[in-house]
Chain A
Amino acid sequence: MPRTARGRRIAAVAVAAVTALALSACGGSRAGSPSLTSKGPITIWYSNNEQEVTWGKQMVKAWNADHPDQTVTAQEIPAGKTSEAVISAAITAGNAPCLVLNTAPFAVGQFEKQGGLVDLSRFPDGDSYIEGRSGAVADQYRSAVDGDFYQLPWKSNPVVIFLNEKLLAKAGVDPTDPSLGTYSGFLAAARKIVESGAAKVAIQPAPTNEFFQMNNDFFPLYAAASGGKQLIEDGRATFDDATGRQVADLWRTLYEEGLSSPEQYQGDAFADGYSAMAIVGPWAVSYYKDVDWAAIPVPTPDGMPVDDIHTFSDAKNIGMYTACQHKGTAWDLLKFATSEQQDAQFLDITGQMPIRPDLASTYQDYFSKHPEYGLFGSLATRTVEVPSGPNTVQEMQTFRNAWTSSVIFGNGSPADALASAAKTIDTLEAQP
């Protein structure tokens, strides 16, 4: 071997060794305080949603006024492609805040696997506080790995169907017609809307391939039709059944007949009158101020009393992160931020639903003053969440790939697509 070539090779190995050393040094041990009782100043992040920022500021101000030795510094989640990517990066870097008041349930399993989340069940009153505040709904937020709580169920945005009353009137559809709650009635109305030219399409959920888009078409209808089944139960996918196929067939018909478009609309389809219906949460009440809307629960195959209907929660929760040095303060703040009084403020300022079983009765005044939120308040106690395992995102992406291919673009039968997705998801469920 020529001397220079050997020299170059030695230099390359040396560079690799130095790099590996430097990288292993970067990953050295710097765990957060293991103590759950330590008190002191902490940092929290909240959503950049305007109303949530308003609520967050008043909450922090109220806390700081009473706890000068445990001050809270709050900021919006730093900008990134997604909040989850930012939080994941912060976990890896060891600089996550103590609390993130916008932790997506689908990401919790991954954060837990990363060692980024504090097990809230380890606080002496952890389980009792969470179960006491959220009731039986809290169970679906337990870890799929060890059954503990790594997130505090905070607030939900129960998904419903919004109707544009003017466009429906133009199409000759009565928004109060109970048959809209059945698949046949829903399809009949959709056909009338498009055939009459009242709107270009009847309903337009995002037809794109992001894993979370299943929460805007399949999942709410599956939750309703199945009477509140989760996507995965006992480590197996549930949706490869008659109910799942009914939901898929409904959407396939909508796309096949041009009642929904496979092309993403550039803008807000509902606000622009491109579609006459939309799948939305309570945020839509303040957002669609310029539209005369009515809200109905998502349809079910043969119709169902409103009080029996379940829907997707679209919840955001609170996670406590292991980099936190003062977990005792973080836990106290967490309880303060989700107290009955702060939940009242939250409901009033944001219109989002605190996850409480007695929501309607506890905040009776609010719902009497704001009847437009009544349906959301009722549904909030019957919400269904995505799975909480470490492979949830991979599983949701698997489902979405099958869905876009068969249901939206018409390649192959939806039944085969659901069966294939369920099989892959079962395999993923078995993986750590």
Chain B
Amino acid sequence: MSAAVGTRRTQERANPEAGLKHRLLGKNPLGLLFSAPYLVFVLAVFAAPVVYAVWIAFHDFFFAAPGADVSYPFVGFANFVYAFSNAQVVQSFGNVGVFLLINVPLTVVLSLLLASALNKVLHARVFLRVSFYLPYITASVALVGVWLFLFGGDGLVNNLLGPLAPNPSWLVNQGLAMPVIAVYVTWKQLGFYILLYLAALQNVPKDLYEQASTDGANAVRQFFSVTVPGVRPATLLVLLVSTVTGANLFTEPYLLTGGGPNGSSNTPVYLMYQLGVEQGLPDVASAIGLVLVVAVLVIAYLQNRFAGGRNE
């Protein structure tokens, strides 16, 4: 590798113009052309709002009419202090932590188990795969309606449980509201993660299972010694995606519990909506958003560090 670099540097020294072009446009300049539309999309839709949000978070900002005589003075960390002096904001981060603690492990375990089972099923394979995928592609609003009827005070679940039904009922119980949401989201998203694992399972060499079987490993042993290590990159992806989507939880608490009872299912993103859109405090909402982004990045780094393994 060092020889190749040395050769390229020698060429660059010989022809500095070609070297600059190479450094700016890379080996295949045409590639830039093909990736340009997506790059523009990412810059316009993701990067620009993030940069703008950072600016907003450090200023006394509100949305104003064009030409309105307003100023947005720099306020340092005042918006962060204001946000995190509010007990509800701190509580919302705790709530989403509870959500992730339930949702992420449950998602990884269930989707891997179900994908492994589906991979072995011969009969009704398509039907079963579609069945698991269906909740994922169905609008949350429709599914939430069903869950409200299931978990309402007079809902099916309580009727089945009879005297064992919790009091207060699921969605108005401070200890149960967030776990119910976590289970709901796990169930709804499971089809997508099963699909990821199914794809990963196709890449696990069959020989490994045969060798393990020859060595006397039973099905459980094969699962832990062959399947789990074999789908490790997919597990990392599932961990990352479920953490990122979970940290951005909004629709489900908004529709199922309204963030209640008593703020126990409120999430940072739901609060950002309330503060930024309803209460006219986009600067405080941006500050919360930035802290959330940093928190998710830290978690993602840790997941990558400890669950990612090495790709060599």
Contact = CB atoms under 8 A, between A and B. Distances in A.
B65 A91 contact: yes
For this complex, into which size category does the number of interface residues on chain B fall? 35 or more
A91 B65 CA distance: 5
B233 interface: no
Contacts of A88: 63, 277, 280
Contacts of B119: none
A176 interface: no
Interface stretch (A17-25, A123-131, A244-252, A367-375): A17-25
A146 B65 CA distance: 19
Interface in A14-61: 15-16, 19-20, 22-23, 27-32
A430 B2 CA distance: 67
Given A28-B66, A81-B277, A115-B65, A263 B52 contact: no
Contact of A115 (B51, B68, B261, B279): B68
Given A16-B51, A19-B52, A209 B260 contact: yes
A266 interface: yes
A18 to B, nearest CB: 9
Interface in B56-78: 62-70
B243 to A, nearest CB: 25
A15 B43 CA distance: 8
A114 B64 contact: yes
Given A210-B258, A263-B152, A263-B171, A31 B66 contact: yes
A113 B62 contact: yes
A401 B263 contact: yes
B88 interface: yes
Given A15-B47, A23-B48, A261-B153, A114 B261 contact: no
A411 B62 CA distance: 34
Contacts of B260: 208-209, 404, 409
A322 B261 contact: no
A393 interface: yes
Contacts of B169: 263
Contacts of B281: 394
Given A20-B55, A263-B152, A394 B279 contact: yes
A209 B258 CA distance: 6
Interface string A81-113: 110110011011110100000000000001001
Interface in A249-264: 261-264
B68 A114 contact: yes
A211 interface: yes
Contacts of B63: 88-89, 91-92, 114
B67 A211 contact: no
B262 A405 contact: yes
A48 B281 CA distance: 28
A116 interface: yes
Interface in A353-409: 390-391, 393-394, 397, 401, 404-405, 408-409
Contacts of A20: 51-52, 55
Interface string B254-295: 000011111100000000001001111100000000000000
Interface of B: 23, 43, 47-48, 51-52, 55, 62-70, 88, 145, 148-149, 152-153, 168-169, 171-172, 174, 258-263, 274, 277-281
24 contacts: A7-B23, A19-B48, A19-B51, A20-B55, A23-B48, A23-B52, A31-B65, A81-B277, A88-B277, A91-B64, A91-B65, A94-B67, A114-B64, A114-B65, A208-B258, A209-B259, A209-B263, A263-B153, A266-B148, A266-B149, A394-B279, A409-B174, A409-B260, A411-B262
